[in-house]
Structure 1
Amino acid sequence: MTVPFAQGMLDVGAGHRLSYAEYGRPDAPAAVVLHGGPGSACQPSMLDWFDLSRQRVVLFDQRGAGKSAPAGCIAGNTTQDLVGDIERLRRFLRISNWLVVGGSWGAMLGLMYCGAHPAAVRGMVLRGVFLPGVQQMDWFFQELRALVPVAWTQLTAGMSPAERQAVLPALARRLLRGTHAEGRDAAERWARYEDAVMAAMMGRAGQPQPGQPSGQPSSPQPKPQPGQPPGPLEKYRLQAHYLEHGCFVTERQLFRAARQAAGPAIFVHGTHDWICPPQNLVRLMRFMPQAQVRWVAAGTHTASDPAIRDALRTAIRDMRAGLGEDCG
């Protein structure tokens, strides 16, 4: 297990404290990793993308996510807050500029940060870009049912016809304004649906099959204790908070940030990404014609996909070489 050379909690205001850790060489060029979600967390496997003998890598959990505190807190938690947090962390760590690496939601957040603080960015390596807006939400919660019909039926079991036409609002209502039991049930449904989509996309066994039960109700989950990662309820409440508000960013604002972002950029995207479909990147590239696009044939959405992971490693190595960093 790789041990950080520094770690701590950074107070960013509004009651939030971010958990961060630094790995590799303290005197080497730095990179920051922006995790997906919203509401997920950084994972040790992210370090595998880097050469820690020649790089300084910063991992941190966004507001309310992972080991950051308070767990699952949605107050004072917007995309604009997260963009400010990234810059606050850079200055706190006394890093002059860094490489921004992110995937999915983290790729969108990376674009927003790079557009707001171009002088702080050496370059970007972004994977499986998520876009805000109705089109992305309709795809995942409505149209994707054509590829995972059983999983979608289980996700929407017991919903009214009107709710099945607007699945995200129905889930968000239960998670953000329902009882604890309703919120827990919505979180578990959402998690099972995500798992089923991922399994089907990866071609793995285990995705729901016709006739299989949707699973037994789980026992009540305890609230996370200080210092512990949030559970499914807290994670999906945070995700619902962002998605219900359109991620606090319009597509026009995101595309404007993409235009304003400086420095070289490499985008990695799987041709078989069901979560953030390839059309996302095609649309984005109209505003970043200078960026390099690397399509991964048969690649999916997750960095645990070996093809995506290898493409990400190569992109980071090539970016470092292009920046003149020592890759020898």
Structure 2
Amino acid sequence: DHLVADINALREALGIDGKMHVFGGSWGSTLAMVYAIAHPQNVQSLILRGIFLGTQEDLLYMYQGNAATYEQAPFALSEPGAYVTYPDEWKTFVEVIAPEQRGDMMGAYKAIFDMVPADDAERARQLRAAMAWSVWEGVISNMIPASDDAGKFGEEAFALCFAQIEAHFFANDLFLAPDYIIANLAKIAAIPTHIVHGRFDQVCPLPQASRLVANLEALGAKPATFVMTNAGHSAMERETVLALTAIMDGLPRMAG
């Protein structure tokens, strides 16, 4: 509800009376689709990158993986997950949590984020958890990490905010009904939708985009564009940049 109100306030501030092109990547793709479902009359087209449908299985792929059995078999491919491609980074992420709490990694991390530190040791523990959460996503966002530098994801202030906000939304199912986007897809089926998704995306795996496309097609609404790039999750990888630029350059003027 706050998102819808914020976008409508922005429309008013910019003097937009008619329809607008709505662009979003990753969590932004979720927000873009949720807004379009609420106000399809305001949306001329959707441009979506790195589709995130926000279901529980999507979150488990990234944050749970084989964590529950990691202590006994750290290299076992027992569950699907991003850990398969980034085992060293996964080790750092998993080992923040005690073995007996690894059956619910997101819940265990949130418990750390929610505590009010009583001393320097607890503050250090909270910061370590936030850094591990943030760097995990930052590193796996690129198909080929450019360096050992995690960029903004490795900055303490950013990590503390980023990790706690994400964990809060995930613990509350993104404040959406189960499978909300797919269940309400008919409301946006008439909106021209452009989708760009990295084939090797480990933050938002490709089946999320494929599922969205299949459900649109089942409604007789084939996407205006569906590009699978040879890239990971980041919007800044070359093929994804080129695909998005081509789409944006080809958009018609916003309808008045």
TM-score, reference length from structure 1: 0.63
Counterpart for residue 112 of structure 1: 34
Match of 2:129 among 186, 193, 197: 186
Q: Rate the CA distance shift 1:281–1:251 in 2: closer, same or farther, 3 A.
A: farther
- Is 1:195 aligned to 2:138, yes or no? yes
Give the match for residue 147 of structure 1. Answer: 85
Unaligned segments of structure 1, at least 5 residues: 1-79, 209-217, 222-229
Tell me the secondary structure at the aligned position of residue 126 of structure 1.
strand
Q: CA deviation at 1:324?
A: 8.5
What residue number does 1:69 align with? none
Normalized per residue, which structure has more helix? 2
Q: Which has the higher contact order (CA 8 A, sep 6+)?
A: 2
Q: Does 1:130 align with 2:52?
A: yes
Instruction: Pick one of 204, 218, 237 that aligns with 2:146.
Output: 204
Secondary structure in structure 1 of the residue aligned to 2:37:
helix
SS in 1 for 2:162: helix
Q: Which amino acid aligns with 1:114?
A: A
Equivalent residue number for residue 281 of structure 1 = 209
Aligned-partner Cα distance in 2 for 1:319–1:191 = 34
Does structure 1 conserve the Cα–Cα contact (< 8 Å) formed by 2:44 and 2:255? Answer: no
Q: Is the 8 A contact 2:194 2:226 kept in 1?
A: yes
User: Could you tell me how far apart the structure 2 residues matched to 1:117 and 1:258 are?
Assistant: 13
For residues 181-206 of structure 1, what are the alpha-carbon distances to aligned partners after superposition, in whole Å with 9 as ceiling and x for unaligned?
A: 3332211111221233235x225343
Look up the SS of the partner of 1:165 in the other structure.
helix
Give the distance between the partners of 1:164 and 1:107, measured in 2 at CA: 29
Which residue is equivalent to 2:250?
A: 318
Which of 225, 233, 237 pairs up with 1:301? 233
Instruction: Give 1:118 shift.
Output: 0.8
Residue 39 (structure 1) aligns with: none
By how many angstroms is 1:300 displaced?
1.6
Confirm or deny: 8 A CA contact 1:123 1:265 kept in the other structure. yes
Q: Which amino acid aligns with 1:113?
A: Y
Q: Deviations over 1:12-48 (max 9, x none)?
A: xxxxxxxxxxxxxxxxxxxxxxxxxxxxxxxxxxxxx
- Residues 39-88 of structure 1: CA distance to partner in whole angstroms, max 9, x if unpaired? xxxxxxxxxxxxxxxxxxxxxxxxxxxxxxxxxxxxxxxxx321221122
Separation in structure 2 between the aligned mates of residue 124 and residue 118 of structure 1, nearest angstrom: 10
- State percent identity of aligned pairs: 24
Task: Tell me, in whole angstroms, the C-alpha distance in 1 between the residues paired with 2:242 and 2:148.
Answer: 25
Code of the residue aligned with 1:277 in structure 2: it is P
C-alpha separation in 2, matches of 1:273 and 1:158:
24
Q: Report which of the two has the higher share of strand.
A: 1
Whether contact under 8 Å (2:182, 2:215) holds in the other structure is yes
**Counterpart Cα distance in 1 of 2:227 and 2:141:** 19
Determine if the alignment matches structure 1 residue 231 to structure 2 residue 125: no
Opposite residue 193 of structure 2, the aligned amino acid is: A
Tell me which of 83, 102, 112 is aligned to 1:174.
112
Q: Tell me the CA shift for residue 252 of structure 1.
A: 3.0
Q: Map Cα deviations across residues 159-181 of structure 1 (whole Å, 9 max, x no partner).
A: 22232232111111111235243
Q: Which residue does 1:161 correspond to in 2? A: 99
After TM superposition, the structure 1 stretch with the greater mean CA deviation from structure 2, 121-130 or 260-269, is 260-269
Asked if residue 83 in structure 1 is aligned to residue 4 in structure 2, the reply is: yes
Task: Provide the C-alpha distance between the structure 1 equivalents of 2:58 and 2:179, rounded to a whole number of angstroms.
Answer: 14
Equivalent pair of 1:112/1:258 in contact (CA under 8 Å):
no
In the alignment, which residue of structure 1 is the partner of 2:182?
255
Offset, 1:299: 2.0
Following TM superposition, by how much is the alpha carbon of 1:158 offset from its aligned partner in structure 2, in angstroms?
4.5
For structure 2, list consecutive stretches of 5 or more residues without a partner in the other structure. Answer: 66-80, 118-122
Write out per-residue CA displacement over residues 262-301 of structure 1, whole angstroms, 9 at most, x where no aligned residue: 4211111111111111100111123322223422331221
Q: 2:14 aligns to what?
A: 93
Could you tell me how far 1:99 is from its partner in structure 2? 0.5
Partner of 1:99: helix, strand, or coil? Answer: strand
* CA displacement 1:112-140 (0-9 Å, x = unmatched): 00111011111111111112121011110
**Could you tell me whether the CA contact under 8 Å between 2:20 and 2:43 is conserved in 1?**
yes
